[in-house]
Amino acid sequence: MIKLLSVAIVAGSLFGPDLSCALPPVEQEWTCDYPTHIQCWTDWFDRDDPSATGDWETLNDLRKDNPGKICPKPVDIEARTLSGLSVAQAGDLHTQSDPTVGFICKNQDQPTKMCNDYRVRFSCHPPFCGGGVCWTKWYDHDDPSGTGDWETLSDLKTANTEQICDFPLYIEAVTTDTLTPAISTGEIFHLYNPTQGFVCCKEDQKSGTCHDYKVRFGCPCEY
């Protein structure tokens, strides 16, 4: 099973498309990169039993037994017993758990019993895992000098032909000056979703104005 993790990304619809504060003007190339804050897990692997010297789920051996199923440079590792317990819950001592080495539990280090039987999985960055996200470049086509800052998907696609996929999976918005994530500014957003884009209306803010924002969209990497 592969699971994607993402941080501070807006996915899906948040607000309805009530575009009541009039659309202003407009202004970029598709680039594909793999953000390091997105990770995914490999399948679980169990190659050894603790019947000899212990349970040795080493990365090198697992690669040999499962060619192409583990990324070149795993960034994390998780080990659990076959019944689903963590190492701490299982009570085994002095185990080694390292994404560059694998997982090792030695029977000689357990005072009253042999090691439990473990399985492991590794965390990787796209594009190794299926479902990776490719990000567009940042777009800033509007300034908040009129009714607000309008970075709508339809306008951006019109101004940047074939540079943004038809159905983005994610959207990120940050301020243009300090690169502060939009969700950390305290402002209220008229729109903030990948299918419509981003809109900050001045009339919705206590200060009577919006920051200037730029946005980018996360698309399937096969785009």
Sign of CA dihedral 123, 127, 132, 133: positive
**87 & 152 share domain:** no
Q: Is residue 161 part of a domain?
A: yes
What is the domain range of residue 168?
9-34+132-220
For residues 39-63, give the mean pLDDT.
93
Q: Of 223, 62, 140, whose CA–CA distance to 79 is shortest?
A: 62
Pair (18, 85) in one structural domain: no
Q: What is the pLDDT of residue 40?
A: 72
- Separation of alpha carbons 98 and 59, rounded Å: 9
Please classify residue 219 by burial: count the beta carbons closer than 10 Å to its beta carbon, then call 0-12 exposed, 13-18 middle and 19+ buried: buried
pLDDT of residue 26: 36
CA distance 174 to 168: 17
Query: What pLDDT score was predicted for residue 161?
Result: 84
Final residue before a domain boundary, out of 66, 93, 124:
124
Both 109 and 185 in one domain: the answer is: no
H-type alpha helices, 34-98: 59-65, 87-90
- Per the domain annotation, does 3 fall within a domain? no
Q: Are residues 105 and 174 in the same domain?
A: no
Residues 145-167 pLDDT 10s = 899 999 999 999 999 988 899 88
pTM reported for the whole predicted model: 0.49
The number of CA neighbours under 13 Å toward the Cβ of 108 is 1
